[in-house]
Structure 1
Amino acid sequence: MAEQPAKSGRRSGRRPRLSLDDWTEAGLRLLVSEGRGAVKISRLCDELGVTKGSFYWHFSDIDDLMKAIATRYTSQDNDAARGLTSLEEMPVDERLAHMGAMLVDARAWEAEVAVREWARSDPQVAESVRALDQRIMAVVQNCFRELGFDDEEAEIRAGTLVYAGIGFLYGRDNLPTPTVEQIQKLLAILVRH
């Protein structure tokens, strides 16, 4: 049975019922910090201070939670956290500069790498990551179209930037991390006609 909030102002020692977002956020944190194998119902319940009944209020099993984590992480709702939704309102040069800076933002790396690693063994997660990559590619391609490049040129330039971002994720432990200034120089090359 799921936890219920206390009915009076007195403390009952019980936590209010956790939301679906509480569970998916906790599961994602654990996935990022320790990997897919660490995401277990009992571990999450211990960390959140609730019973397994709270878990089963929202999910039928751990696979159901994992699907919710993948959906949340790669959904358009999460685009705001990535800065994708606000990008559309920026002038194109600011948009590209912002996306370039995002390529070297260490805060996003751990989650991105964890989800991409998980996608290697889970077809549903792989499809979600593929859809996210395609949304990002479309945003970047549109920037280059707005700068006057034809479809083919926009696709090549966008691909260079998107693939560089994925490469930064996987190469960051083995290669020097580019600076924002170096990314800006790459962008200057890509926007030249």
Structure 2
Amino acid sequence: MSSRTNLTREDWIHAAQEVLVTSGVDAVRVDTLAKELKITRGSFYYHFKSRGELLEGILGNWRARATEDVILHLRNAHSSPLQQLHRLLELPSHGQTAKDAASIELGIRGWARRDKQARQAIDEVDSHRLSYIEGLLIQAGVPSGDAQDRAYLIYAYQISLSLLHSEDTPQQRLERSQRMAGILIPESCTLPA
């Protein structure tokens, strides 16, 4: 990639996310990324005004892919709220894609411990995800107060999976998510036939 027209804004963001995951936010530097991408710094400035704008791009890309796209995909599947909950619980068992998503999530959460902008993005995403899960539970017939607590448990379970290293096979992870659905989703909610 020797021309700035060949390298997209998304290429820079993806490369920055990889550095974030492996080395932390302090290592996300224009020079480092340019060297990694084998291109001049000029390409960076064609797409971004500053490193800060790149960092905003990382957060925006993560928010879109890890939250908005997931919710949109689940909603567009034309499935019941309960089926959406089950599919949501199965997401962490989706192999390398799930591992990559969890790595980015952990990198951003680590960054958010000391950066106000990243903390705000995490807070917004957490709130949006919790509201979505709570809404699905309410639609499935769970009383509002109980739905809020169960949404928190479901979300906490999913976040915890990104912290745990497991040698389980994809099938074992899927079976665990199905067992957890039995624990986290009340029996009064049933899947439609």
- What residue number does 2:73 align with? 86
Name which of 39, 42, 59 aligns with 1:50: 39
Contact 1:59 1:65 in 2 (8 A): yes
The residue aligned with 2:118 is 125
Deviation at 1:17, TM superposition (A): 4.5
**Residues 4 and 43 of structure 2 are in contact (CA less than 8 Å); yes or no, is this contact kept in structure 1?**
no
| Cα contact 1:147–1:191 (8 A) shared by 2 | no
- Whether the aligned pair in 2 keeps the contact of 1:17 and 1:54 (CA below 8 Å) is no
Deviations 1:121-168 (A, max 9, x none): 111111111111111111111111111112111111111100111222
On the 8 A contact 2:109/2:122 being kept in 1, the answer is yes
Equivalent residue for 1:102, pick from 73, 79, 91: 91
- The whole-number CA distance in structure 2 between the counterparts of 1:143 and 1:14 is 47
Q: Does 1:112 align with 2:101?
A: no
Q: Note the C-alpha offset of 1:117.
A: 0.6
- In 1, Cα distance between equivalents of 2:108 and 2:66: 16
Task: Give the RMSD, CA atoms, in angstroms.
Answer: 2.4
- Alpha-carbon distance, 1:78 to partner: 5.9
Say which structure, 1 or 2, has more relative contact order (CA 8 Å, 6+ apart): 2
Structure 1: any 5+ residue segments left out of the alignment? 4-12
Spell out the pairing of 1:13-92 with structure 2 (5 A cutoff): 14=3, 16-75=5-64, 79-80=68-69, 83-88=70-75, 89-92=78-81
Query: Does residue 155 of structure 1 match 2:145?
Result: no
Divergent runs of 4+, >4 A: 175-178
> Are residues 1:136 and 2:129 paired?
yes
Normalising by structure 2, report the TM-score: 0.81
Q: Distance in 2 between matches of 1:91 and 1:77?
A: 21
Instruction: Point out the more displaced range, 177-186 or 148-157.
Output: 177-186
| 8 Å contact from structure 2 (residues 4, 42) kept in 1 | no
Provide the rounded CA distance (Å) in 2 between the counterparts of 1:18 and 1:141: 40
* Paired residues of 1:75 and 1:132 also in contact (CA < 8 A): no
Gaps of 5+ in 2: 189-193
Q: CA deviation at 1:77?
A: 8.6
Shift of 1:99: 0.8
Distance 1:92 1:62 in 2: 40
Aligned length: 178
**Residue deviations 1:42-101, cap 9 Å, x none?**
111122222111112232332221122112212379622xx2211123222321121111
